[in-house]
Structure formats: structure tokens, C-alpha cells
Structure 1
């Protein structure tokens, strides 16, 4: 094993363990909430967390944009961090305020008991977005230990803060208050990442803002696609079948989340690599991890059944490997979406929205059952993964940002660097 391969394996292991701890801590909070809250309040909390998931695409986009810029322009790290700190503060306040101000509309729409529940959602998004910028700096500079600490802090901040809120009062509003406070833990752990010493060329904030918006739009399209079957099952199946499909989705999401550390670790390399070797290696690794889960679910369906809810869902036991297969293809698509963000490739959002429409159309016109829906989802995800994997290989590689020559004095390149002559 070469030195580079050993370094990648080491950093990948650190991040993988940290993200696993984060997911376990998050699951722990959900488990406690399910036990302490009555069903109506737990349903409200689930809806509020779904709102957080949607709005958090801004934090993910900011992380990807900052990490890409530092990876492509390591000699401009100081200036990029200065710019990122200003953008992160403005964007986090804007996102948090926008969600908080939507409380008069969202509260009756989702039958929340208090507008404060949505206001606390907005308050939580401020530190989440700031942490996204910190993660981008740590990821772009290859500070994997710090990156791992931020992920762990995210999980335990949610666990301790959320549980504390539930202990104060077993309500969705109180839980969101605790979550909003706990979300500051990773920000505290990442203190200093958005501060840089040194001087250099002035960087414009506008290109970073535009790239973040474009990346957020792409990620929103991905999350819509990866959840379209859940919405179809909820609205189109009978209550019993909807519950069976929801149990299968636990395995789908687990298979999807398992290899997400790959996209985190490989993202800086994908941003720099013009040969496509990195993206192919990363996609292969994600595929192998996913297929291992598929094989395990097929060979040991009763064990997989325990992980998705137990005997009350035994009707879906023999089909769980299909849910794992769907999660595998969705995980590959997730990796390739971030590869597209790293290369600043356009058109991915359109493809993902078209994929969502395809799944919806098939389910609507053919009135498919549980197996039909999961097979449709897996098939469409496989096609999307294939297109995202092959399409860049058929196109000429564009020049990296900052490589375009001929800029006039004082002009900015694609990343907002002021050129000095």
C-alpha cells in the first residue's frame, strides 16, 4: 500500500468512525423522544426535523463550496477562509431568520401547537450553517481529526441538548429548544477554523454565495429524489402497507448513510483530479459497501428484520434486500452528486427532478405495490447513477477555476480572486 493510500485509509477510518458515532447519537435521541413523547408530539417533532433536513441543504452546500475552493486553490486558503467567515455569518442568519419568520404559515399548515416550535427550528439552523462552513474549512485543508470532532459534536449536541429539552417538558417545542442550544456544541469545538492570519488578494463574496445557492439547489433536488418513494408510500398505500414500506426504508437509509464518509474524504481529491480516477475509485468503494449490505440482507433476512422493527414487519422480510439495493444506488448517486459539485458540473438538479417525476409517474399510472415501488426506485436510481458516472467521461475536461488566462488587471476569475498584475 502506497503512502497516499495509507493516508486516505487512515483519514477515511477516522471520519467513518466519527460519522458512525454521530448517527448513533442521533438515533439515540430519536429513541428517547419516541419513548418520552406521546404519538402526536412525536409526529410533530418528526415534521420539525424534516424541516431542518430540508433547510440544512444550505449548510451542506456551504461546506462543499468552501472545501472545493480550498482544495483547488490551497495557496489562497487564508483569503478563502476570510471570505467564508463573512459569508457563513450572513447566510446562517438569513436562513435562520427566514425559517423563523415562516412560523405563522408553517404552524397551522403542519398543525403545530406553538409558533415557537418553528422559531426554534430557525434558531437551530444558525449554528448548523456556521458548522457547515467550519466543516468545509476542515475538509478542504485535510484536518481530518478536527473534522471528526465536529461530526461527533454534532451528534452529541443533538443527543444531550434534545434530551435535556425533553426532560424540561415532554413536548416537540421543548425538544427543539434543546436541539437549538445543543447545535452550538460543534461550533464551539470548531472555534478558530473560520479565523485565519495573514494577508493576500481580496476575494469577492459574490462567487461563493452564488456557488452555495447553486449547490443547495442541487442537493435539494437530491433529497427530494431520495425521499420521493417515502411520500408516495405514505399517500398512496393503505396504512398497513405504508408502515411496511416505512420499515424497509430504515434499511434503505442505513445503506445510504453507511458510506457517506467516502464523499467527505474523497471530495477534496475529486475537486482537484481531472482524470476521473478518484471519482471512479470512490464510486466503486461506495458500491462495494452497499452490495455487502444487500448480500447480508438476502442471506440473513431475519437479522435484517430485527434492524427494521421486528416480527410485526415480517411480511417484508424477504424483500429487504431490495430496499438495501435501492439504498446502494442512492448512495452512489449521493457520491456522484458531490463529485458534480466538486467539478461544478451543471444540469444535475434537472436530472434528479426528472428522476423524481419518473418514479411518481410510474407509481401513479401503474398503481404498484410495495415490491413494485422499491424496484422502481432502485431501477431509476441505478439509471441516474449510470448517467452521472458515464456522462463526465464523454465530455472534455474543462479547465479548473483560476486556470483561465487573459484576465485584465483587477478582474476576478471564476472563484472571485482579484488578479494582480
Structure 2
């Protein structure tokens, strides 16, 4: 193993460990919330967190766009950071304000007790979006230690802030208040990353914004699909059954995010590999990790019940393996969505929106309970994963174009390919 390869493995390992710790910390908050909140309040909190996940696609897209531009033009990093800092500030305030202003609509739609719950969601999205831009700068400049610190700050900010909010009063609204405050921790840890020189070209803001929108559209489709069952359960089930489903979703989300580091570590190889071996190996690794959780949940349902909230959710204990199965297929889809972004494969967003419509239609036109909804979700995710896995094998490779996504119009990549508008 040469020095470059060892450096890549080392940096990838640091980020992988940080992301796993972040997910454990996030799971820790969910577990505390499940134990402190009654099922009805926990169901409300789960729906609020699903809204956060959907809106947070802007932060993820901003991270990807900034990281790609710095990677393509390392000599212009300071100018890119200067432009990105202005875009990030404007976008973060816009996302937070739009979410907060939607509270009169979302509060009755999802039976939240107070509009403040949605307002705190908007407040939380401001630092989350700023942190996304900081992550992009750290990733693009190869500051892996700082990148890992930001991921850790994200996880522990959510854990400590959310638990502090629940300690004041165990309600979904107070939990969101604590989460909104805790979300500033990674921003503080990344202080200085968005300070570039004043030489940035103001006209470069437009392609950065357009690129962010394009990336966000695909990621939005994924997160809408992966959270459609949580919103359906909140709006269509009784408060008690909604809480039971929310408990099962702890296992779904844990299984889904457990192998998230694979997409981060494998992404450069996914973009370069024209043989599809990398994507198949990555998908196999994600599937293996997920199936381990499924097997554990099936063999030890009482242990799995402890991990999702305890005896007050015992009615769902025997079905927890289904939630883990759903999370496994969603994790595979997550990886393959990033593979599609790396390869510039079109049509992924459309497929994901169709999948969301399928799950919604099943729940809307047929009377299905907890088991029916999770089976519908798992089955649809399995079909989507299969289509995403097979489709690139039937099409000519576009690796040359995908190796450096996010080039500014007219720029060239290291192989001499020109990016078009």
C-alpha cells in the first residue's frame, strides 16, 4: 500500500468513525426521547424530525456543491469560500424562515399541539444549513480532522441539546427547542471555515446556487420517500398507534444510517469506476450490515424492544425485524442515490417520487395497520433498490463526465472534459 492509498484509508477511517459516533449520539437522543415522552408526544417528535430530515437536503446539497468546486479548483479555494459564505448565509436564513412561516399550515396538518414546535424546526435549520456549508469546505480542502469534528458536534449537539430540552419539560416542543440550540455546536466548532478572501466573483454565486438546487432536488426526493411512512403514520393512525410506529422507526432510521459512512468513503471510487465493481461491493457491504440488524431483531426481539423505547411499546416487539428490513433497503437506496449523482444518471428523482406516491396510495386507498405500512415501505424500497442497482448495468458508462461533478461552466476536469451549461 503506497503513501497516497494509506492516507486515503486513514482519512476515510477517521470520517467513518466520526459519522458512526454521530449516529450513535443521535440514536441516544431518540432512545431518551422514547423513554421520557408518552407515545403521542413521541409520535409528534418523530414527525417533526422527519420534517427536519427533508428540509436538511439543502444543507447536504450545499455541502456537495462547495466540496466539488473546491476539489476541481483548489487554487481558487479562498475565492470559492468567500462566495460560498455569502450563499450559505442567505440560503440558511431563507430555509429557516420558510419553515417557520409554514407553522400555521403544518401544525393542524400533523396534529401538533403548538405552532412553536414547527417554529423551532425553522430555527434549527439555520445552523444546520450553515454547518452543511462548513462541511463542504472541510471536505473540499481535505481537512479530515475538522470534518470529523463537525460530524461529532452535530451528533453530540443533538444529544445534549435535545435531552436538555426534555429535562425542562418532556414535550415534543421543548425537545425541538433544545435541538435548535444544540445545532449551533458544529457551527461553533467550524468557526473560521467560511472566511475566505474578498476576491470572489459575484457572478459565481449563480452556478453555485443552481448546482445546489439540482443536487437538493434528488436528495429531497430520497428523504421524502424515506420519511413518507412516518408522516402517513402521524396523519392516519391514532395517536397511540402513531407512537408505536414511531418507536419502530427508531430501528428503521438506525439501520438506515448505520452504513451511511460507506457512501462518503466510497464516493470518489464510485465516480471513477466504470466497471461497477465498486458500487456492487459497496452495496453488498451496506446489505450485510443491515441484514445483521434484521437477524438480531428477529432472534432477540426483547432486546430490540429495549433499544427502541422499552415495554410501553411491547405491542410492536415481534414486528421490529420488519422495521430493520425497511431500514436495510432504504440504506441501499441511499448509497445508490449517491452513486447516481457520481455517474450523472438521470431520472433518479422521478423514480423516488413515484415510489413515494406508491406508498401514499397504498395507505390512502387501503386500510392498513402498522404491519401493513412497514411492509409496504420495505417492499417499495426493495423494488427501488433493485432498479437503481440494475439500471446502470444496462447503460453506457459516463464515468468521464461524473468523475468531477460540479464543474463551473466552461471549466475542464483533469482529463480535459469540458463542463457544459
TM-score range normalised by the length of the shorter chain: 0.7 to 0.9
* CA distance 1:125–1:218, shift in 2 (3 Å): same
Q: CA deviation at 1:182?
A: 2.4
* CA distance 1:235–1:171, shift in 2 (3 Å): closer
Q: TM-score, normalised by structure 2?
A: 0.81
* CA distance 1:89–1:238, shift in 2 (3 Å): closer
Distance in 2 (CA, whole Å) between partners of 1:66 and 1:311 is 46
- Of stretches 24-33 and 253-262 in structure 1, the one that deviates more from structure 2 is 24-33
Per-residue Cα deviation, 1:69-114 (whole angstroms, up to 9, x for no partner): 3345545544433332222122112112222333444455556565
Distance in 2 (CA, whole Å) between partners of 1:359 and 1:341 is 24
* CA distance 1:83–1:181, shift in 2 (3 Å): same
Please say if residues 124 and 181 of structure 1, whose CA atoms lie closer than 8 Å, have aligned partners that are also in contact.
yes
Please say if residues 131 and 190 of structure 1, whose CA atoms lie closer than 8 Å, have aligned partners that are also in contact.
yes
Distance in 2 (CA, whole Å) between partners of 1:28 and 1:193 is 29
Please say if residues 290 and 324 of structure 1, whose CA atoms lie closer than 8 Å, have aligned partners that are also in contact.
yes
Distance in 2 (CA, whole Å) between partners of 1:236 and 1:256 is 24
Distance in 2 (CA, whole Å) between partners of 1:235 and 1:400 is 43
- Give ranges in structure 2 of 5+ residues lacking alignment: none
Q: Secondary structure at the match of 1:95?
A: helix
* CA distance 1:112–1:251, shift in 2 (3 Å): closer
Please say if residues 39 and 243 of structure 2, whose CA atoms lie closer than 8 Å, have aligned partners that are also in contact.
no
Q: TM-score, normalised by structure 1?
A: 0.81
Q: CA deviation at 1:239?
A: 6.7
Q: CA deviation at 1:202?
A: 7.8
Distance in 2 (CA, whole Å) between partners of 1:238 and 1:201 is 54
Distance in 2 (CA, whole Å) between partners of 1:170 and 1:353 is 35
Distance in 2 (CA, whole Å) between partners of 1:110 and 1:234 is 6
Please say if residues 12 and 262 of structure 1, whose CA atoms lie closer than 8 Å, have aligned partners that are also in contact.
no
Please give the residue correspondences for 1:101-112 in structure 2 after superposition, counting only pairs within 5 Å.
101-107=101-107, 109=109
Please name the residue that 2:70 is paired with. 70
- Of stretches 223-232 and 35-44 in structure 1, the one that deviates more from structure 2 is 35-44
- Give ranges in structure 1 of 5+ residues lacking alignment: 405-409
* CA distance 1:136–1:47, shift in 2 (3 Å): same
Please give the residue correspondences for 1:336-415 in structure 2 after superposition, counting only pairs within 5 Å.
336-364=336-364, 367-368=367-368, 370-398=370-398, 399-400=400-401, 412-413=410-411
Please say if residues 33 and 166 of structure 1, whose CA atoms lie closer than 8 Å, have aligned partners that are also in contact.
yes
Q: CA deviation at 1:367?
A: 4.4
Alignment partner of 1:120 is 2:143:
no
Please say if residues 254 and 327 of structure 1, whose CA atoms lie closer than 8 Å, have aligned partners that are also in contact.
yes
Q: How many residues align?
A: 413
Q: Secondary structure at the match of 2:397?
A: coil
Distance in 1 (CA, whole Å) between partners of 2:403 and 2:292 is 41
Q: CA deviation at 1:403?
A: 9.0
Please say if residues 100 and 120 of structure 1, whose CA atoms lie closer than 8 Å, have aligned partners that are also in contact.
yes
How well do the aligned residues superpose, as a CA RMSD in angstroms?
3.8
